[in-house]
Structure 1
Amino acid sequence: SAPIAPPPRTVSAWLPYWDQEAAYEDALRHAAQLHTVSPFWYRTKSAGNVVGFTGAGDRRVIDGLHKAGVKVVPTVMEKMEPGALASVVTDKNRRARHIDALLRVVRSRSYDGLDLDYETIAATGDADYKKVGSGHATLVTDLCARLHALRKQCVVTVSPKTRTSGRVWDYRRLGAAADRLRVMAYDQHWAEGSPGPLSAPAWYEEILRRATAEVPARKLEMGLPGYGWDWGVGSRDRARHVTWKEAEALRRKVGAPYRLDPASSTPHFTYDEGGKRRTVWYQDARGTAAHLPVLRKYGVRHTVLWALGFEDPALWRTLAKG
């Protein structure tokens, strides 16, 4: 009989530095489906200072992924004080200095490009949004041009644009400049908010309707969650992060039945701890399968997983089927 063709390489994934070995092994197991892995390795601290987390630039990981046919495009993130990143992206000289710092990172190893994941650019006050969004788009445009001159990929990670969120992002300019625009389509309900699904088909519909109107579908990567949140019911405390594996182990431990929320196609359960009620919402392969038809509707073939080592192992079969 004819050999079975490997699944198409339609998946990217982030590799968390805090569980690097397990995530790396996970990437190698599924290398046939992965076209890009983004180790979560670097952090911007100022315009001219980009530093590495523990394990950043590990040549064994880079070489192993390359040997498996997977591109390595590390992520640069930031957690700066309010307004600090805005002051970088809106100042011509600081932007130029920052691009030089980013290029030093990409030249430091045999990387295939960079993924820019900047999430605190939004300044306080409506009057500044247009200026900050424009500055960020200019930074990306200039960085992408420099990366392309080096024959490197330029990837940009953004939050979803919906009726109530994401207004700071200039999707049109970002999509024109970058090779890939990654949309973090998760945390519809997040750690410091009220309990609920991390994503839902109706939410994906709104995200992709807006995104594909501004960015070619071939450039979009839809972010998929491989994790969940464990909230205290009625509590204002930050929810606990749980991977799929942790959520499933907890569900079995407390004897909660498996069930999918009919509106969001998302697994969830409740349990008692120390006399207090808690609720867990997470994502698995079955839930993701119910979300993928929305991607097909809008012609989006590429996904990006947060994160390697978090996910339901059955998710890879689901993604192979599209």
Structure 2
Amino acid sequence: MITTGAVARLSRSLALAGLIAATALTTASGAESAPQTESIPASVPLPGPPPAAVPAPEQAPGSDAPVPRTVSAWLPYWDQEGAYQDALRHADQLHTVSPFWYEAVSAGRIDAHPGAGERGIIDGLHRAGTKVVPTVMETMRSGALAAILTSPARRAEHTDALMRTVATRDYDGLDLDYETIAATGDATYAAVRDGFTALVTDLCRRLHTQGKQCVVTVFPKTATTGRIWDYAALGRVADRVRIMGYNLHWSGGDPGPLADTHWYEDILARTTALVPPAKLEMGLPAYGWNWPSDSTSTAATRHVTWKEAEELRLEQGAPYRFDEVSGTPYFTYDDGTESREVWYQDARGIAAHLPVLRKHGVVNTALWALDFEDPEIWPVLAGG
């Protein structure tokens, strides 16, 4: 079960995604305090400069073809053991696991979430043949990240801090999930966009000299969203670009599907024109939201994993429904006070969405998050 504090942090991160996923929505932020963190000390040495080739793709025994690992997944720190065991069960499909372990809080400081850097998890995933590329996220106050990105000196300081982080363990790279820049206004938009591109370009270059991967997680680009990311430039320097293909409807708005086949069509038509499809990972949700059905209600919208959604549906005796238009399941029930509506994602929904990915040549996916999901999605993903 996700803790209350963890849900608050998760909701903040997902809510930021909703800022540009649906233009009609308004910003909502979690009110609870963040978990205690541990900063990465500046005394940790930076990796040395000797160049090393980026590792070649894994090879199947006795074959020249790469191992068909097309799924990456985030590992939430608030369900670390369950998510780790889930990763081990599906290691034959996992290309990369990204533990959600670090948070950038200033130009020179990267904090560690509880359990970050656990060597048993890193070693176990490596033994299973899975890369470990931890995520660095941020939820800085308004304008703080923009100030870092638009200052060459502070950008360099931040890149140094990121390189110290990757040097603390035997990591295979870093995943940057920087979301507060999505709210950048018109006056500073171009400068912040170019500053982020410069940061990623420098970070990727330095990671590559160490034979490590550089991954960037971004919001979807549609006609009205995603402008803050220079997809083409990021696609040239990063090894993987992860598209957060979820939160079309989110906790700050009305009930509805987290993803939609037509939305995916719009996203991928634009994205594949800018980034080689082989570098893309389409992020898929393994969770949902539980809304009050009445949009005027003051009751809270609650985050649910697939597991929690199905447990609730069975407990309430609610019939399973599937929206053919969006390709997502949902159900309704009465909690004794009001009517509630739950939209989430399962194997049937992902199977409905995969043809859009195939149409655009995208074979790589990223799952948010391990130990949230319908277990039947794994054979669905294995079939591409």
Task: Name which of 263, 266, 275 aligns with 2:328.
Answer: 266
Displacement of 1:167 in angstroms is 1.1
Indicate the residue corresponding to 1:93 in structure 2: 153
Q: Secondary structure at the match of 2:250?
A: coil
Partner Cα separation in structure 2 for residue 196 and residue 65 of structure 1: 36
Partner Cα separation in structure 2 for residue 208 and residue 124 of structure 1: 23
Task: Name which of 326, 331, 341 aligns with 1:279.
Answer: 341
Indicate the residue corresponding to 1:206 in structure 2: 266
Partner Cα separation in structure 1 for residue 342 and residue 223 of structure 2: 27
Runs of 4+ more than 3 Å apart: none
The answer to whether 1:120 aligns with 2:186 is no
- Residue deviations 1:265-296 (CA, integer Å, cap 9, x gap): 11001111132011000000001000000000
Indicate the residue corresponding to 1:218 in structure 2: 278
Indicate the residue corresponding to 1:241 in structure 2: 303
Indicate the residue corresponding to 2:126 in structure 1: 66
Displacement of 1:8 in angstroms is 2.2
Contact 1:7 1:320 in 2 (8 A): no
Indicate the residue corresponding to 1:110 in structure 2: 170
One-letter code of the match for 2:147?
Answer: S
- Identity percentage over the alignment? 67
Contact 1:192 1:237 in 2 (8 A): no
One-letter code of the match for 1:31?
Answer: A
Indicate the residue corresponding to 1:25 in structure 2: 85
Structure 2 residue runs of 5 or longer lacking an equivalent are 1-65
Contact 2:346 2:374 in 1 (8 A): yes
Q: Secondary structure at the match of 2:181?
A: coil
Q: TM-score normalised to the size of structure 1?
A: 0.97
Indicate the residue corresponding to 2:5 in structure 1: none
Indicate the residue corresponding to 1:3 in structure 2: none
Within 5 Å, which residues of 2 pair with 1:110-149? Answer: 110-149=170-209
Q: Secondary structure at the match of 1:65?
A: helix
Partner Cα separation in structure 2 for residue 186 and residue 277 of structure 1: 24
Partner Cα separation in structure 1 for residue 299 and residue 222 of structure 2: 26
Displacement of 1:7 in angstroms is 8.1
Partner Cα separation in structure 1 for residue 142 and residue 335 of structure 2: 36
Contact 2:184 2:228 in 1 (8 A): no
Q: Secondary structure at the match of 1:214?
A: coil
Structure richer in strand, relative to its length: 1
The 3 A distance-change label for structure 1 pair 180 and 237 is: farther
Indicate the residue corresponding to 1:304 in structure 2: 366
Within 5 Å, which residues of 2 pair with 1:149-168? Answer: 149-168=209-228
Greater CA deviation, 282-291 or 248-257? 248-257
One-letter code of the match for 1:278?
Answer: R
Q: Secondary structure at the match of 1:122?
A: helix
Partner Cα separation in structure 2 for residue 93 and residue 280 of structure 1: 47
Q: Secondary structure at the match of 1:111?
A: coil
One-letter code of the match for 1:93?
Answer: A
- Residue deviations 1:191-224 (CA, integer Å, cap 9, x gap): 1111100001100000000100000000000000
Q: Secondary structure at the match of 1:110?
A: coil
Displacement of 1:123 in angstroms is 5.0
Contact 1:221 1:302 in 2 (8 A): yes
Displacement of 1:229 in angstroms is 0.2
Q: Secondary structure at the match of 1:133?
A: helix
Partner Cα separation in structure 2 for residue 239 and residue 161 of structure 1: 26
Indicate the residue corresponding to 2:312 in structure 1: 250
Partner Cα separation in structure 1 for residue 183 and residue 85 of structure 2: 39
- Residue deviations 1:206-260 (CA, integer Å, cap 9, x gap): 0000100000000000000000000012225552000001100111111111110
Report the aligned-residue RMSD. Answer: 1.4
Displacement of 1:124 in angstroms is 4.2
Q: TM-score normalised to the size of structure 2?
A: 0.81
Contact 1:227 1:310 in 2 (8 A): yes
Contact 2:232 2:275 in 1 (8 A): yes
Contact 1:86 1:123 in 2 (8 A): no
Indicate the residue corresponding to 1:320 in structure 2: 382
Displacement of 1:125 in angstroms is 2.5
Contact 1:123 1:132 in 2 (8 A): no
Indicate the residue corresponding to 1:191 in structure 2: 251
Indicate the residue corresponding to 2:62 in structure 1: none
Contact 1:41 1:55 in 2 (8 A): yes
Partner Cα separation in structure 2 for residue 238 and residue 131 of structure 1: 37
Displacement of 1:129 in angstroms is 1.1
Aligned residues: 318
Indicate the residue corresponding to 1:290 in structure 2: 352
One-letter code of the match for 2:271?
Answer: A
Q: Secondary structure at the match of 1:134?
A: helix
Partner Cα separation in structure 2 for residue 92 and residue 207 of structure 1: 32
